[in-house]
Structure 1
Amino acid sequence: MSKTLIVYGTRFGATEKSSEVIASVLREKFNHEVDVIKLSSQSGDIDYTDYDNVIIGSSLAMFSWTKRPKKFLKNDFGEKKIFVFISSAALTYQAKLDGNMEKYEKWKNRFLDNVVKKRMKVKPVSTMVLGGWIKNNKGGYDLNNWNEEDAINWAEEIGQNT
């Protein structure tokens, strides 16, 4: 049985929801033992040594990652299989929805792949941009392009590569 750790940072909850969906697919379809940790609710370092796979997720808002996942990228993961995703309600994911793959690849490279490359000692097995949402102060959404099917599909890719 493969052991997988999912750590994430979220602003409006989309990254948390994606993490839960990914965990569910890995547990049910691939028989993984999965722990999910919201980094902002933890004090101190996270012990990832007993895991075979580590998935790191962050929301992207105003072109910025949440702090703790960005810092977590700097760990020395050794031989572990690493997967990294961001949740982006605007720019990056929206370009994909609009069918503008050139723009999508440009933004993905800038806000995901380059961030990962600068901070990680190992190359991740896979990186992904998932949709997100931005809530307004009235309890509704200013933008919501989160899609559960995208999280399921990426989780299946992870399961096949672990």
Structure 2
Amino acid sequence: MRKVTEDDVLQYYLPLVQRECKHAYKGLDWEDRVAEGNLALLHAIRTYRTKHGYFKEYAASEIRRIMQAQNGKAWSSRRLDSRFSLDAFSGISTGIGAAYLDDSIVDVTWFMESLAEMDKIVVCMLMEGMSIDSISDKLVISQSQVQGVIEDLKQKLLEYFGDSVE
């Protein structure tokens, strides 16, 4: 009987890594997301203990945790780069001595503040990586209601940000 290697596990769980990285962690390019996701999976392989429960759930949570940290570093790096760019300011006189302001953060903050309470809760749960099933269970509403909130959010997002949303 052949022994299962780390490479075998990495290959087997590649679809999980790709699924976790597909629509999230946009601070990183796709190839970087997959590479970081594979490193996170490797970390999960090496740190997994049976007390953690099912390996797939443990691996997914480790991938999310590590990817969130790597994504934060990538966005921080980009913000730092933009602070030193002449394009970061609307004009030299307004930029000198003024606090740095990231317009995307302001837009997202305003958008979030415009949402109903249920919408905000669902957005936060989605950002934490929760599935529709988990959100439904936690909020004690049907999965179709959660899906309806998500569809409404998509529509509001398109209306608010227009064509700049991918």
TM range (shorter): under 0.3
Using the size of structure 2 for normalisation, the TM-score is 0.26
Greater RCO (Cα-Cα under 8 Å, separation 6 or more): 1
Structure with the higher strand share, 1 or 2: 1
Structure with the higher helix share, 1 or 2: 2
